[in-house]
Amino acid sequence: MHNKLPSDDNLVSRGCQLPSMCSICNTNAETLDHLFIHCSFAQSIWHWLISLMNITCSITSVSDALDLCKRNWSPKCKLVILVAVVNCLNTIWFCRNQIRFNDKKILLRLAINLIITNIALCGNSSKLAANSSISEFVILKAFSVQISLGNAPKIKEVIWQPPIFNWVKCNIDGASIGNPGP
């Protein structure tokens, strides 16, 4: 995020004099670290995401959240988890702005539904393949993402005929350099 968001701590560091309070929880000064990681609302969202993935980890920074994508997932599941992390951050910022500028509090359940909707939209437009593992099926189904597996292997019919008498027959699968060719 490169400290570019206009959170209270960034505005103060740029010379704006204002009292600071997290708009969501009203318990701490608004810093990016508090807003996206330590705020009770943010912690609920991260806890929800981690519980869906059925893993044990703690999110203590935004980079920890992004590291969730670095696990041994299929390409489709990696994309869905990256989109989930980005949408969690975006939804936290959206909820903060709704409270601050529109005096409208977004409930946790509604925020989670917004996240799921955005993930489903992105995940279902992807052509990437998923692994056929139960853990990935659970994650993709939780986000309403259709599961697309890779192409089935091609099956080639081979008919074996015994060699003529006093001959040795060598069968190959056709994998050779320059095939077909000399």
pLDDT over 70 for what percent of the chain? 91
Q: Where are the domains of the chain?
A: 8-142
CA angle at 17 for the pair 11 and 19, rounded to the nearest 5°: 90
List pLDDT tens digits, range 3-25: 788 888 888 888 888 888 899 99
Token pair for residue 173? 């699968």
Q: What is the pTM of this model?
A: 0.77
> Which region holds residue 21: left if phi is over 0, alpha if psi is between -120 and 50, else beta?
beta
What is the pLDDT confidence band of residue 84, given thresholds at 50, 70 and 90?
very high
pLDDT over 90 for what percent of the chain? 45
Closest listed residue to residue 128, CA positions, set 146, 148, 151: 148
User: What is the per-residue pLDDT for 181?
Assistant: 63
